[in-house]
Structure 1
Amino acid sequence: MASVAAAALVATTLAVAAAGPAAATGAQPLDVTVEPLAPSVTVSETDLRSDLTSTVTVEGHGFDPTLATGTRPPFSGLQSGLYIAFGRYPDVWRPSAGVPSTERHNPPGATGNGVSVIWAVPEASFAASSPRQDPSAPTYTILRADGSFTATVKVNRDWLADVSGNFGIYTYAGGGANVAAYETYTPVTFFERAESQVVASAVRGSVGKAVALPVAVDASGADVAGTVEATIAGTTVATGTLSAGRATLSLGGLTAGTHTVDLAFTPSTDRIAPSSSSVAVTVAKGAAKVAATWPSLTYGRTAKVAVTVSGPVAATGKVSLLNGSTVLSTATLSGGKASLTVPKTLAAGTRTLTVSYAGSSELSTAKVSSKRTVAKASSSITVKAATVTSKVAGKVVVTVKATGTTPTGKVTVKVTRNGTSYATKTVTLRSGTRTVTLPKLGKGMYNVKVTYAGSSNVKASSRSAQLKVV
């Protein structure tokens, strides 16, 4: 804010009569000289940017409206107020000193009256103006009866770049009047903004972790303060306040891939120009972890492997169960979990089973392996030996069963009585069964023992039965 006062003052004399006891003593009247307030001007801002048009508010006080009478239209013979002007004037510029108007340079044309030059006129003068003037026009503001006014003036250094003199906000009597008390000068200066540069280097991070992005803002010859905003595709992802021209932005929630991060510096002072730049931020996929709960495994029976995939973000996608390189089953994760089926056909023995996660757009692939033993299926034997006569060869029907499979391999049928062996035959199962024909036997009860030798996937077993020969 800036304020100046005119030097011209008007003195008045006030005679004050003594009263009370002073009158009785013949006291003389007291002469008091009262000096009214001199005109003064306050400008809202006087140090302005050189590269743009600024708007300043000018407030005046003590401008007695009766002091200025116009000598030319439109306020000839009327109270004509004063001009409030942005100009570039010489050191000696005052109309009251006889300086002609040609020495006072105001912006020309469309940047002049109503923009950089405002006329403050008492409201009563408009009614009698000729030609008639509109007090609401941009050219005018009201000079109030108490001698105050408020005006909005636009200022731009380039408007007066081709003339010499002192930049300032000037006031002086309008309409041809000449009032030294109205003449004030408030200096206006202009500054060049320091150019700034936002500097940041490419950084790398991973999904699920905030990426730290160091940012520096440099401006030649200036202490840099302000904020830096980071945006990706128009969306703000981080904001930081500079300290000694430096800030580290925390970029959270970035997806995998390379992102172009736009950086915008907003200075805390008008003396530094804003600036912007871009930087590449590469985000790698997050690390996934696979956990599996293994069931007991038996050939001929299906089983379920409970799978959980975790990571810095929710896991989506597919998991597969492999026996070596052979895929046994595949499932889609839901809430990071899935159930994989171990088929009943997985051969008995020690197997290296692997649960493999295929990864997603945000998580890398992962797997977990385990050596698991697949037990052989248990077998059961059914023996049917019908009663025969000694004149007929007996027959034994053998059936071998196992859960989830049809046993293969050989069975041996041995016929004994009282420790003596009468017949032994070994046959190969067909679809899990076989009928064995025995030799003719003498009358009596015989023990028939059937032994199943087992297979690579089914356990061996045996069963005995009685054969009656009559």
Structure 2
Amino acid sequence: MTTHRSRLGRRLLAAVSAGALAVGVLATVAGPAQAAPDAVPVTTTGSGPSYVDDATFTWGVSGYAQKGIFGPWTFKDATGNVTLLQGSTQTEYTASPVPATSMPPAGGTVPANPNAVKFSSGTGVVDTATGAGKLSWTGSYTVNAYPPQFNAPNEIYQDPILTIAADGSGTLTANFGIGAGVDMQGNPFDAIDYGRLNLANFDAGSLSNKTATGYRATPKYQGVTNGLAGQNTTCTTDSGATGWWGSWPTAFITALNSSSAGQSVLPHFYSTGCGGMQDFKPQLPIDVKYTAEPAPQVTVSNTRVDAEGTTTVTVSGTGFHYPMSIGTRPPLSGQTAGSYITFGKFAEVWRPSLGSTLAPSGNRKTATAGNGGLKWAVPAANMVGIGGANAGAIELTPSGTFTTDLVINKAALDASAGAGTEAFRYGIYTYGGSGAVAPAYETYTPITFLPVASTVALDKASYAGTAGATTPVVVTVSGANEPEKATGAVTLSITPEGGSATQVDTGTLANGTATLDLPADLDGGTAGALSVSYEGDEIYAAGTKTATYSVAENPATVSLDKASYTGTVGSAVPVAITVGGVAGKPTPTGSVVLTYTPAGGAATPLPAADLVAGEAVVSLPGSLGVGSGSISVAYSGDDLYGPDAETATYAIAKNASVVSITGGPSSVAYRTAATYTATVSAGTGNVVVKVAGKNVNAPIVGGKATFKLPATLPAGPLTLTFSYAGDASTSAATPVNKKVTIAPGASAVAAKVTSKWTAKKAGKLTVTVRSVKGGPVPTGKVKLVLKKGKVTRTVAAKVLRNGKVVLALPKAAKGTWSVRATYLGSTQHKTVTRAWTVKVPAK
């Protein structure tokens, strides 16, 4: 085990102490150096083909063997790990009839399922994902195609080997022999052993029913030519035929054709015609089942060691089965070559199974057996052949296990590896010995040298805080030794722009993380660089990470009570202003300035208003003229809060005006003047009075306008309309009306008999109607009523002309008559009656 961990602890302690003295920020170094870390064992699992030792191989040979010329062939004489399966009773091996396979339809002498042979306890390697690998079985079986009386020869199949590539292509070989018998001409022949022959070839994609525990492989037959003159290669699919023609592997046919013994059974294995029995000659599919053994595993007792001196670790392995590693070069060429176990410095692409082009030997720099850094696990029988223990030989047990100690010496390996290997990876490596291609043996267990480089990470690249509040800085320290977490202290320092570095916080890592704080008392509006330093611990080296920071003033928010303000000329318009701050912090102080800008005009700032409890009221002046504009309220900030502003609009309108009639009669005597007073609520200028179609201006004095109604207006109803059109600051008022009635004027009636009126003669009476002075000449009619005693006579009314009318007086009885003349009036004059007496003489 290492003897230098205590020195590493002392070095770390010294480094921490020196840092404290140099920077002057650590008052003490708490406690002694940390204890050496515990050993960290690691188990690594190999990848690639798996070892199997329970593989089964089940096959019914061909459909032809299930029907035969004289019935199904005889399957017999099983030896070794072979079991015969009777088609009439077995169900584990099935085959669908032609055209799915070459199996004849069941019925008659054809069994429900194929007669078959099952080899067990097969061994080899297989990739459970693809089926690729090589499996072999021991044992034999015999078949005979004819009844005993024909003395036909037996066909013996022994020790099959199945090789499959990842794409499903491959071969099936077996030792094949023919027993003694007679040929088709009756000539006897001796038994013959053909050796290992190729019984089936497989094209890519030949595997079906593929799982992690097996597959079905269908041999290639259709379209295979064998060069024999008797092979039929012209079958068609006419009339629903399969069109099949083909052959078992050409090499197999050629071997059989080389002797009379083989020729006696040769027609069983290729198409000699079309249809019928010919469709049964292709090989039936082969079923392979297996259980993969666990992949090789390597456990290293400690993967975290001191970079100085030497460290001894124990390496153990399981699953390193013999058949998986066969040497391709001396000293164990063609033999079980086992595995190298080495402390090494390898390139990332290092696996020998990739080939020398991708992974040349220069990609693998190993320690030496002489310094205890290289071992070779082989079967006990092969240990001496590779040089024994002095050469690093250790036993690989028949069950595929090994255990050994390896010495790790980084300095020695670096020296031997030389330049150009700086990026190579240190580790404990295993791989096949003596050039064996054994990908499953290839494992890599990383070795970490202490102290490892640390990575100090911050949660942000730039931190933005505000005055009066702390800003968290989250620090994470990690390294190649994860999941072991870094421990120890971290320190936060800042360097303001134009200033010097200052430590502002320290903390201790917990689970590799700590939260430090930029303090709340940093001035707003400042910025700079920050640095977090990690002091290191027993495992991780010291490290530093930098970032930037800025401290802003707290945001203030200016708000107005309205988005748009309205007012009238001459009246101030109050604007309520609120400056909000941050919850939990003092209310903003200072002042605000309101600036108003009329449309098309210049901006005018009003005097600053101090905030009281974050509020102020500033009024737009009443001197603003009619129009609209914008408002801007600016807050300049204080020690805690930054500036802010808000805008709104305003509109100043004219004052409203109301006209009311406050004086003047509703009825006016004829030819009499009248005075009317209109009160104007706001505004200057004139009230316009419309009378008899004419407009008369009445000046506004003291909010009142006086209008004198002329005496010359005719009698009758009259509407006086009082209107105010407004001025620069006052809007027009709604017109108001005053209804006035001018009473009709008085009149006088005079009459004179202008033609003598007697009892015998009609007379004439001239009636004159006069107006008041200055009045118009009366118009209308005059009616005359004559009365004497009970006699009343009426003279029809006649129209005045120029104020006069002549009425005819009818003949009337002598005596005194009452004459009553009535002026019926007009629009301008009242009705008036004049009565007098007239003596009517006899003649």
Bucket of the pairwise TM-score, normalised by the shorter protein: 0.3 to 0.5
- The structure with more strand, counted as a fraction of residues: 1
Which has the higher relative contact order, 1 or 2, with Cα contacts under 8 A spaced 6 or more apart? 1
Q: TM-score, normalization: structure 2?
A: 0.28
Q: TM-score, normalization: structure 1?
A: 0.46
